[in-house]
Structure 1
Amino acid sequence: MNIHSIEMEKACAFFKKQLINQEDDIIHTFFGKLNIEKKTIYAISSDYHWLLEYWSSGLYKKIGQRISSGIKTWDHMDAEHRCVLKKNNIKYKTDITKNYGNIVDILSVATARSLKDEDLLSLYSKKPIISSISSSIWCKFNIPTLPLKGIECPTRLKPIDIEVKHECFQFGNIKFTCKEMETIHWLLELNSFKEIAWKHQCSQTAERKRIDTIKAKLNCQGFSSSALFIALKDNGITASCLKDYIMPP
């Protein structure tokens, strides 16, 4: 399948620029958000030509082998995966995968050396940030999903988890809903109103109302965004503290 497009090429180049501290040992970084039910995927790579190679070789049809949660290396994949690595002079490739029912996130890194436990922990901690950056770029460049025709995978993956009734977050006497916390999380990552509305799949008007509600709870309604950031910081709500909360993909 030929997936070449100018928009995708620009998106991949922009994605590469966001990975400012990418080590020399890292050959490329890929992130994909797969919808099992619809059999589509949002995809992006710091190496646009790798993305083209993956689809033109037909390897995408075997993506079902990569969707179970966990960490897996391509040297344990089938011969076709190893052949594509050899063709592209890649020694090691590692997937860090998490499934959320019908949605599967795949962070995949090609490297010049095998990864140690501390490397994997570092990459795993960066996955939510890379997911957020990727979503912003797909929105910015109007990147559509890619079809995954002919793939074989379960119609739905159910992760093993403990369900907890969790409807709000509390900071002192201030309570925020889950969606308000998501908005705060993305605001602190400097996403625009448009990008946050896209993530929530709602109108910009609805998202602005949600932000006004957040401001009202922080007693800074009617003030600028900088006043909101100051109010958040004064109440101990920072980007670093939000890493302790589980944010949806």
Structure 2
Amino acid sequence: MEINTPQRARASLLFSDAIRHVLDPDNQDVSFSFVDTSLAKVIAFSTNYQWHLNYWACNLDKGMQQRLIPGVKTWQSYDYAHTAILKKFLPDRKTKIDICTRHGDCYEIMSLSCNYDIDFNNICRLFSLKPRLSAVASSLYHKRQDELALPLRDAVSANRYTAQPRDTFQLKKWQFGHLVFTDLEIDTLRQLLMCRSVKEIAYAHHCSVKVERHRIDNIKQKAGCQYHPNSALFDILNQHGVIQACLANCIIYR
């Protein structure tokens, strides 16, 4: 399989030029990949084309499955092959993270490596940047899919959200000033933020809808807004930092 072709090299160069205004080339490398599991193909662009060649030459694409989990993941959480190749070929990069989203059978992965630690604010900025990079990458491969596509050599199955079984919750306390919630209540809030229905949350918690509604009412009572709409609850939770904690738990996978 020929990885290094003039077409792929030019596509990555055009990608680099197009995002130059949002990239610090001395401190950052950005890669963007489209992984189509139904057609078993991958189209990838990178501002560091040599890294792109090393990734495929070292067969890291055969471990693609572990990268196809929607959310944020650090490369330190992947297997030894990923961390070893990262250390070998990008020794000056302190951090490398993937931001993955799923669109039917297609996954998009924006990967950033940099020589500094990435805080939560930077992660939020990257989430807002990803759709713009997706538009740039899509415009580059739209008429050149046959020239740029590489085979998906990992047997990929669907990754879906799996709730923790109820008996694994240890009912630890989460305290935000005078507000104190259990693990189960925090998980309820997290799933509400993910726009899941009460029925879906009850199913994930292995309880009845009535029990789950009672849990939500109890959360609202703790927040002092029992007879108010959910919007009032979210305003109070936002002021106390509860939403930020739930979002971090929701989008960052370790």
TM-score by length of 2: 0.59
Decide whether aligned partners of structure 1 residues 158 and 86 sit closer, same or farther in structure 2, where only a CA change above 3 A counts.
closer
| DSSP 3-state at the match of 1:115 | coil
Partner of 1:6: 6
For structure 2, list consecutive stretches of 5 or more residues without a partner in the other structure: 162-190, 197-254
Q: Which of 93, 103, 106 is the equivalent residue of 1:103?
A: 106
| DSSP 3-state at the match of 1:107 | strand
Partner of 1:210: none
> Take 1:140 and 1:22, find their aligned partners in 2: how far apart are those partners?
26
Q: CA deviation at 1:75?
A: 0.9
Q: 2:8, 2:148 within 8 Å by CA — same for their partners in 1?
A: no
Partner of 2:64: 63
Which one has the largest radius of gyration?
2
Q: CA deviation at 1:47?
A: 1.1
| DSSP 3-state at the match of 2:133 | helix
What pairs with 1:232-247 in structure 2 (closer than 5 Å)?
Answer: none
> Take 1:101 and 1:7, find their aligned partners in 2: how far apart are those partners?
28
> Take 2:111 and 2:155, find their aligned partners in 1: how far apart are those partners?
20
RMSD of Structure 2 on Structure 1 (CA): 2.2
Letter in 2 for 1:147: P
Q: CA deviation at 1:60?
A: 0.5
Q: CA deviation at 1:65?
A: 0.4
Partner of 1:191: none
Partner of 1:17: 17
Bigger fraction of residues in helix = 2
Deviations 1:78-117 (A, max 9, x none): 1110111111113311000011231111000011112111
Partner of 1:50: 51
For structure 1, list consecutive stretches of 5 or more residues without a partner in the other structure: 164-249
Deviations 1:204-243 (A, max 9, x none): xxxxxxxxxxxxxxxxxxxxxxxxxxxxxxxxxxxxxxxx
Q: 1:28, 1:109 within 8 Å by CA — same for their partners in 2?
A: yes
Partner of 2:230: none
Q: 2:37, 2:152 within 8 Å by CA — same for their partners in 1?
A: no
Q: 1:100, 1:157 within 8 Å by CA — same for their partners in 2?
A: no
Q: How many pairs align? A: 162
> Take 1:134 and 1:52, find their aligned partners in 2: how far apart are those partners?
18
TM-score by length of 1: 0.60
Decide whether aligned partners of structure 1 residues 35 and 140 sit closer, same or farther in structure 2, where only a CA change above 3 A counts.
closer
| DSSP 3-state at the match of 1:113 | coil
> Take 2:128 and 2:112, find their aligned partners in 1: how far apart are those partners?
14
Q: 1:85, 1:91 within 8 Å by CA — same for their partners in 2?
A: no
What pairs with 1:154-169 in structure 2 (closer than 5 Å)?
Answer: 154=157, 156-157=158-159
> Take 1:107 and 1:48, find their aligned partners in 2: how far apart are those partners?
15
Q: 1:34, 1:40 within 8 Å by CA — same for their partners in 2?
A: yes
| DSSP 3-state at the match of 2:102 | strand
> Take 1:64 and 1:141, find their aligned partners in 2: how far apart are those partners?
25
- 67-76 vs 87-96, greater mean Cα deviation: 87-96
What pairs with 1:137-152 in structure 2 (closer than 5 Å)?
Answer: 137-139=140-142, 143-149=147-153, 151-152=154-155
| DSSP 3-state at the match of 2:39 | coil
Partner of 1:76: 77
Q: 2:31, 2:110 within 8 Å by CA — same for their partners in 1?
A: yes
Partner of 1:118: 121
Decide whether aligned partners of structure 1 residues 24 and 6 sit closer, same or farther in structure 2, where only a CA change above 3 A counts.
closer
> Take 2:94 and 2:195, find their aligned partners in 1: how far apart are those partners?
37
